[in-house]
Structure 1
Amino acid sequence: MKTKPAEKIKTYEAKGFREKFLGEDNPIHLLFKSNSDHFFCLEIEEIMHMQHPVPPSKHSCHTLIFITSGQHTMKLGYQEYTTTDNEIIMVPAGQIFSLDNVNNIHSGYICQFHPDVLIRKYGSRELLNEFDFLKISGSPKIKLAPEDIGAITNILERLKKEYSETAFTDLNIVQSYLITLFFEMNKNAVKTAKSISAAEVITGKFKELIHDQIKTQHQVNYYSSLLNVTPNHLNKCVKTVTGKSAVKWIDDSILLEAKYLLFQTTLSVGEIATQVGFDDQSYFSRFFKKLEGISPIRYRKLIDKS
């Protein structure tokens, strides 16, 4: 009898908290059948033992969590989302997320897949632009209409079967089911969508830009020039939509990226400073302590002791 990937991680207890999340030691990776698959779909109950607080982290895969009973709270960037019965939350690939506490999930599904799974025989980047919840700036949470719950559950059951009951996952089948799932989700996303203001459009584009370029670009005027608006107008739009200025968004994004690197890599503080666009390690450390209240070294030590 073959050992299911979900069973392998139950024996993974030897290393410290932070070490478990470095590189291929991340227990999530043990759910992939192979490095080329980068896909799994399971009922949440099968991996409940993995539920614990997680500092700012990110993954190269998209993650979909569908709660059928109970609730789950997580932060995407600095925004907290609580997902309850018959709601889906999508964590886009590359989005920094964190779990400050663990909620009571009675049942549901978790599905994780690499973006490349979607760009195969039946997909295209133009098609994927249809799905706002796959974008960093998109709305990640969807409340399902009662009449759509059955269809979405059936698709996730088929994805789970393809993952759990076949020796080799057929990614063409997985891709087809995922695209069907996304269109079902889109119906519900459209139902709750509101008209988008010009400020929201600019803010969404700004979020995408800082996600892509925060490691090298820290100035509001750089982003405003890309968006063909003045720095003052950009600040006004972002503050109106999010409650925070563009400057604050940039600083918080740098801090989140640094936290992720302190937790999920073995880079030195000096190397991390360079990674997030600081030539001076001392200046980076002062910046980090000003926003977080402790030094980068202290932050990493506290995680190691978790």
Structure 2
Amino acid sequence: MKKKQAEKIKTYGPKGFREKFLGEDNPIHLLFKSNSDHFFCLEIEEIMQMQHPVPPSKHSCHTLIFISSGQHVMKLGYQEYVTTDNEMIMVPAGQIFSLDNVNNIHKGYICQFHPDILIRKYGSRELLNDFDFLKISGNPKIKLAAEDIAPITNILERLKKEYSETTITDLNIVQSYLITLFYEMNKNAVKTVKNISAAEVLTAKFKELIHDHIKTQHQVNYYSSLLNVTPNHLNKCVKNVTGKSAVKWIDENILLEAKYLLFQTTLSVGEVATQVGFEDQSYFSRFFKKTEGISPIRYRKLIDKS
């Protein structure tokens, strides 16, 4: 990584956090060599200087984190994942994530890449169906078997070399390494597409649909019609699988999307309300306060002061 990039990242701290995140000094943006490649791979200790909470956020790229030593805690949606020695976690593009506490990471790698890299010369959208961890409804966490640690580390080292030691990144090489990496990861991945019940299949499809339509559709019957089941059947399946009703899933995803927009954009509260499907700003504010405990204006002010 260039010295200039490293110095900028080290100065990134809690003061003016939201302004930094929205501006050109966003440390993730600084790591991309150009706006066209959207790729980096580095040892995690090189960039994990941001030891402070991150409110609900999302990125247009996939993010892969491999912890060889230490611990990493993050939430994907409302689910908390603790990643420790020789474990990996994938944050799919568009997945809302948050960091609530300081991480204790000693060694590992972080790799971020745009989804388009995977469908270049050697790939296809059909190929990506083989990798459950790239899906919003998939299992994002992988525990590596002892014999798979070295091969995966070697691939990550090659990706890091391609990023760090070349002036112009060859995305065809990056794509080849990534696909090889994913098949190595698949040996250890917990598959959610085999040996699961009809209710689990329906719930996974429901989660994917929420991700795609939450900005405009808030009714259970809309999703049940897309899935060709009754609202009652959808609610029952989702509740049995997750412990939460379909209505609860919809409300939580509306709230997450709103919190992401309040943090990661300069949209007004009224514009945020419109973006998440509320025509009435006052109704949106009541919904936000009921579910979060504070108003959207107060929520943004708290972030600005952090």
Please give the TM-score of this superposition, normalised by the length of structure 2. Answer: 0.96
Give the equivalent residue in structure 2 for 1:94.
94
Correspondence 1:162 to 2:145: no
Q: Secondary structure at the match of 2:130?
A: coil
Q: CA deviation at 1:196?
A: 1.1
Q: Measured at CA, do residues 169 and 3 of structure 1 come closer, stay the same or move farther in structure 2, by a change above 3 Å?
A: same
CA distance in structure 2 between the partners assigned to 1:175 and 1:166 by the alignment? 16
CA distance in structure 1 between the partners assigned to 2:193 and 2:271 by the alignment? 42
Contact 1:5 1:32 in 2 (8 A): no
- Aligned ranges 1:239-258 → 2 under 5 Å: 239-258=239-258
Moved more, 219-228 or 8-17: 8-17
Q: Secondary structure at the match of 1:109?
A: strand
Moved more, 191-200 or 120-129: 191-200
CA distance in structure 2 between the partners assigned to 1:15 and 1:178 by the alignment? 36
CA distance in structure 1 between the partners assigned to 2:22 and 2:213 by the alignment? 24
CA distance in structure 2 between the partners assigned to 1:194 and 1:75 by the alignment? 25
What is the root-mean-square deviation of aligned Cα atoms in Å?
Answer: 1.7
Q: Secondary structure at the match of 1:24?
A: coil
Any stretches of 5+ residues in structure 2 without a counterpart? none
Q: CA deviation at 1:190?
A: 5.0
Any stretches of 5+ residues in structure 1 without a counterpart? none
Give the equivalent residue in structure 2 for 1:288.
288
Give the equivalent residue in structure 2 for 1:57.
57
Q: Secondary structure at the match of 1:294?
A: coil
Contact 2:66 2:86 in 1 (8 A): yes
Contact 2:14 2:52 in 1 (8 A): no
Contact 1:5 1:33 in 2 (8 A): no
Q: CA deviation at 1:165?
A: 0.7
Give the equivalent residue in structure 1 for 2:191.
191
Give the equivalent residue in structure 2 for 1:27.
27
Structure 1 residues 82-136: Cα deviation after superposition (integer angstroms, max 9, x where no partner): 0011000000000000000022111000000000111100010000111000000
CA distance in structure 1 between the partners assigned to 2:281 and 2:192 by the alignment? 46
- Percent identity, aligned pairs only, is 90
Please give the TM-score of this superposition, normalised by the length of structure 1. Answer: 0.96
CA distance in structure 2 between the partners assigned to 1:237 and 1:176 by the alignment? 39
Structure 1 residues 212-252: Cα deviation after superposition (integer angstroms, max 9, x where no partner): 00000000000001001110110111111111000000000
CA distance in structure 1 between the partners assigned to 2:150 and 2:35 by the alignment? 32
Q: Secondary structure at the match of 2:24?
A: helix
Q: Measured at CA, do residues 274 and 141 of structure 1 come closer, stay the same or move farther in structure 2, by a change above 3 Å?
A: same
Contact 1:88 1:141 in 2 (8 A): yes
CA distance in structure 1 between the partners assigned to 2:23 and 2:224 by the alignment? 36
Q: Measured at CA, do residues 23 and 239 of structure 1 come closer, stay the same or move farther in structure 2, by a change above 3 Å?
A: farther
The aligned length equals: 306
Contact 2:93 2:115 in 1 (8 A): yes
Q: CA deviation at 1:10?
A: 2.5
Q: Measured at CA, do residues 172 and 2 of structure 1 come closer, stay the same or move farther in structure 2, by a change above 3 Å?
A: same
Moved more, 93-102 or 23-32: 23-32
Contact 1:67 1:85 in 2 (8 A): yes
Q: Measured at CA, do residues 235 and 31 of structure 1 come closer, stay the same or move farther in structure 2, by a change above 3 Å?
A: same
Q: Secondary structure at the match of 1:74?
A: strand
Structure 1 residues 64-96: Cα deviation after superposition (integer angstroms, max 9, x where no partner): 000001111100000000001100000000000
Contact 1:4 1:164 in 2 (8 A): no
